[in-house]
Amino acid sequence: MKRREVVSRGLLRLPLGGGHVDCLLVRRLGRRGVGLRVDANGLTVSAPATMPLARIEALALESERWIVRKVAEWSVRRVPAMAWTEGARLPYLGGGLELQLARGARAVAIALPGALRVATRDGSEDSIRRAVVVWYKRAARAHLGTRLAELAARAGLPVPKLFISSALARWGSCNSRREVRLAWRLVKAPGELIDYVICHELAHLRHMNHSAAFWREVERQCPGHAALRSRLFATDHLYRSF
């Protein structure tokens, strides 16, 4: 085997910045220390093939401020600006809704086939955005709640209580009270990526950690989860545009 040859790739969630940062852990033969890289694909941690996971996490956490700052810089760099104009494209479930604007007595957004019709009193960008976000949150609660119930049943788990969050740094979380929080912006993503995030959080109902047993549970619930996670990392900026 060649020196520094990659022997494994896996997922790692680090508790950083008051939340967590998901990263790719790459183990290499011949490597002596832990290396960190943040780019358009997120955080990559390179480590020696035999270094204990706890030691890798501890060394990475020593650079917490740097990681959080770099992840934030890339997030801002990657998020496209949203133009609140007639005909603008609004991402939804991996597809798009055409923004249709109108004037009305109150701000309201109504879903039509392939479009979202938004009526506001003054036509300002702030009014349009607020009405759109209200609609997204309502749509997220309905769609994510349905998928959470279906995937929990498929995994043989009781349906946890769902909270919809406005988090930008994380798509989902789960706590010891068996509560799952999902970001409303997740409803912009394709269905298979939504299901990956939900399965990830459901797996925490059995393993409140990121042990090997946890990742086996994620794979059991969501076969091919590593590829889905990589897709989410590569495209998540598209879902944070507003």
What pLDDT, in 10s, does the model give residues 208-224? 887 889 889 999 999 99
Residues 67 and 130 in one domain: no
Residues 128 and 197 in one domain: yes
- Confidence band, pLDDT 50/70/90 cuts, at residue 101: very high
129-187 tens-digit pLDDT = 999 999 999 999 999 999 999 999 999 999 999 999 988 767 888 888 999 999 999 99
Residues 142 and 100 in one domain: yes
Residue 238: DSSP 8-state = G
Under a CB-based contact definition with an 8 Å cutoff, are residues 67 and 60 in contact? yes
Residues 50 and 150 in one domain: no
Under a CB-based contact definition with an 8 Å cutoff, are residues 48 and 25 in contact? no
pLDDT of residue 58: 87
The rounded percent of the chain whose pLDDT value lies above 70 is 92
**Angle at Cα 16 formed by Cα 12 and Cα 17, nearest 5°?**
155
Is 123 among the domain residues? yes
pTM over 0.85: no
Q: Which of 30, 54, 78 is the last residue of a domain?
A: 78
Residues 17 and 100 in one domain: no
The residue range of the domain holding 206 is: 89-239
CATH of the domain at 129: 3.30.2010.10
Residues 73 and 98 in one domain: no
Residues 26 and 70 in one domain: yes
For 6, 142, 163, 240, the CA distances from 31, given in Å and listed in that order, are: 10, 48, 42, 36
Is 84 among the domain residues? no
Split into its structural domains, the chain has a count of: 2
Residues 123 and 16 in one domain: no
Residues 213 and 120 in one domain: yes
Residues 64 and 149 in one domain: no
Q: Which of 78, 97, 126 is the last residue of a domain?
A: 78
Mean pLDDT score, 20-38: 86
Strand locations in the chain, DSSP E?
6-14, 21-28, 35-39, 42-48, 89-92, 95-103, 108-112, 115-120, 161-165, 172-174, 179-183
Residues 68 and 127 in one domain: no
Q: Which of 57, 78, 99 is the last residue of a domain?
A: 78
Residues 62 and 121 in one domain: no
Is 10 among the domain residues? yes
